[in-house]
Chains A and B, each alone.
Chain A
Amino acid sequence: MSSPPYDTIIIGAGMSGLAAGIRLAQFDQKVLILEKHYLWGGLNSFYKQAGRRFDVGLHALTNYVPKGTRGTPLIKLLRQLRLRHDDLRLCPQGHSLIRFPDCQLRFSNDFEELRQEVGERFPDSRDGFARLIQLVADFDAFDPKDTTTGARSVLSEHITDPLLVEMLLLPLCYYGSAREGDVDWYQFVILFRSIFQEGFARPEGGIKPLLDLLISRYRELGGELRMKSGVRSILHEDGRCQGVTLDDGAELMADRVLSSAGWAETMRMAGQQLYEQNVDEDELGRLSFVESIFVLDSEPKDLGFSSTITFFNDAPTFEYCSPQGLIDDRSGVIASPNNYLSDTPLPEGIYRLTNLANYDAWRSLGAQDYISAKQGCVNQAIEVSKKYGIDPRPHQVHQDAFTPCTVERFTSKPRGSVYGATRKRLDGNTPLEALHLIGTDQGLLGVTGSMLSGISIANRHALVPHQAK
């Protein structure tokens, strides 16, 4: 035990870990963030390929509100990290679409637009939709009394038209449900606000400038960040967490540890016994995605794709489940960062396509088959999605795709489950004292959500009792 102890060690330099780190370093804690990968950002990192920089995940930053808005999650987040709204250089979306075979709903960062669209397309559900908005407004999603009710049943109670129920669920499931076939009602409320009532934006330049800002802020405050430093195990004695052991065997001690590695991984690091007692493998999320990225020789809007995000479902009902085969081509998300409102156009056209994917099916492929399966799936996915977007292939100058296996490899999320475990740990507690969960498995998802998760757990468990030193 050579090194002096830290106040807080944070496992993972994803969005939640960085945000928690900044919060604690602001109050002069001695903080260390340990990241297994050689890059930070986790599920929302970036990578270089063929001379270009790609964002791993970023379709949209949710919760967008303009500068000067009061009291919403984005504003609280900025405040807690002491950032200016302008620092994020957010470009708002133009508009987005929810498309089913015979019906389409358009929405934007002005919620009125969706309300009107619903009223026009589904006149019988107009009152029901108004009641739903009221329910969302009245619900305390950050201290929910009930976390087991699914949104489907609540929606069906109020909305008479089943197609509208499916159409509302499509974007909200894709952007944050860890649960198959449905989304938890309390998560629906969070997502409804963050996607429909607030909105989408993109930081100018993608995720990297935002990550650079977080990293430099963290370092200025004296925070320490070590890359390629995977945590192998969590040290504890008499039920209290004491520090971590790294993959290279080094032991680092801390007053407390915050982990963004997910519930199951965190318990595994805490030892076989705690894993067996606390991890229910049925609660490991099964949902993952294949994402294809096309670089185009033209602006997507000049090729006929002008929405910022299009959520499509090629059937009257929407099945949000881990598919039987490699992917489910019947539904998906199409995103184009070119279609955010920005004064600086992107140098090239980008078209991204996301489909649900089955981890086990991908895992079982050999190396050769894996590569050809990837190409086959991309082509298969385009055949359906082009009805709702475009066929990007004639204009493609570069293409990349990643699978659940890629997600698992680069973020250590078991089974590549992007939205983590189906059961969230909203209080951030674990069976060990001084070990707390942040990020995806704590309960808040997405770029904005995971940062808020890091902040709120840091405040609650690492800052308030301890306060500034």
Chain B
Amino acid sequence: MTRDETILAVKDIISTIAPDEELVGLDTAVPLRDQIELDSMDFLDIVMELRKRYSVQMPEEDYGELNTLDSCADYLMPRLEGQELKLQNA
């Protein structure tokens, strides 16, 4: 998966778990929490959805890597290598 695809993968997960949020125009460098309504329960859902869709095992100490879309991409790109993008809200 390319960097853009990885970001798309995360955004698609967010629109699955938070269908009311507007994701167009998110700044990839700004913490997600500052741009949309996400609480710790929601981050847990992102983690579980990553595991479900891409078998990514994310230990609790890594949850901070989900802070911005950029940090998500940095963290996930090596872990999603060779995998196909799975979109539910395309």
Q: Is the pair B44, A83 in contact by a Cβ cutoff of 8 Å?
A: no
The interface stretch among A69-77, A129-137, A361-369 is A69-77
Q: Is the pair B41, A459 in contact by a Cβ cutoff of 8 Å?
A: yes
In the complex, chain A residues 411-469 whose Cβ is within 8 Å of any chain B Cβ:
459, 463-464, 467-468
Q: Which of B19, B37, B41, B52 contacts A84 (CB 8 A)?
A: B19
Number of interface residues of B (CB under 8 A): 15
* CB nearest to A84 among chain B residues: B19
Residues of A within 8 A of B17 (CB): 79, 82
> With A and B bound together, what is the CA distance between A85 and B19 in angstroms?
9
Q: Is the pair B37, A70 in contact by a Cβ cutoff of 8 Å?
A: yes
Q: Is the pair A468, B37 in contact by a Cβ cutoff of 8 Å?
A: no
Q: Which of B16, B37, B39, B41 contacts A82 (CB 8 A)?
A: B16
What interface size band does chain A fall in? 20 to 34
> With A and B bound together, what is the CA distance between A83 and B19 in angstroms?
7
> With A and B bound together, what is the CA distance between A348 and B87 in angstroms?
45
A373 at the interface (CB under 8 A from B): no
Q: Kindly supply a per-residue 1/0 record for chain B positions 45-84, scoring 1 wherever the CB is within 8 Å of any chain A CB and 0 otherwise.
A: 1001101100000000000000000000000000000000
CB B11 to nearest CB in A, in angstroms, measures 15
B18 at the interface (CB under 8 A from A): yes
* CB nearest to B18 among chain A residues: A79
B42 at the interface (CB under 8 A from A): yes
Residues of B within 8 A of A84 (CB): 19-20
Given contacts A79-B18, A79-B42, contact A27 B37 (CB under 8 A): no
Q: Is the pair A71, B20 in contact by a Cβ cutoff of 8 Å?
A: no
Q: Is the pair B20, A467 in contact by a Cβ cutoff of 8 Å?
A: no
> With A and B bound together, what is the CA distance between A464 and B63 in angstroms?
14
> With A and B bound together, what is the CA distance between A68 and B37 in angstroms?
9
> With A and B bound together, what is the CA distance between A83 and B17 in angstroms?
8
Q: Is the pair A78, B52 in contact by a Cβ cutoff of 8 Å?
A: no
* CB nearest to A27 among chain B residues: B48
* CB nearest to A28 among chain B residues: B52
A80 at the interface (CB under 8 A from B): yes
Given contacts A467-B48, A468-B48, contact A67 B20 (CB under 8 A): yes
* CB nearest to B57 among chain A residues: A467
Residues of B within 8 A of A78 (CB): 20
> With A and B bound together, what is the CA distance between A80 and B41 in angstroms?
8
CB B24 to nearest CB in A, in angstroms, measures 16
Residues of B within 8 A of A28 (CB): 52
Q: Is the pair B19, A71 in contact by a Cβ cutoff of 8 Å?
A: no
Residues of B within 8 A of A80 (CB): 41, 45
> With A and B bound together, what is the CA distance between A76 and B37 in angstroms?
10
Q: Is the pair B51, A468 in contact by a Cβ cutoff of 8 Å?
A: yes
Given contacts A71-B39, A75-B37, A76-B41, contact A82 B51 (CB under 8 A): no
Residues of A within 8 A of B45 (CB): 80
Residues of A within 8 A of B41 (CB): 76, 79-80, 459
**20 A-B pairs whose Cβ atoms sit less than 8 Å apart in the complex:** A28-B52, A71-B37, A71-B39, A75-B37, A76-B39, A76-B41, A79-B17, A79-B18, A79-B20, A79-B41, A80-B41, A82-B17, A82-B19, A83-B19, A84-B19, A84-B20, A463-B48, A467-B48, A468-B51, A468-B52
List the 10 shortest-distance A-B pairs measured between CB atoms, nearest first. Answer: A468-B52, A468-B48, A84-B19, A468-B51, A70-B37, A84-B20, A27-B48, A85-B20, A467-B48, A79-B18
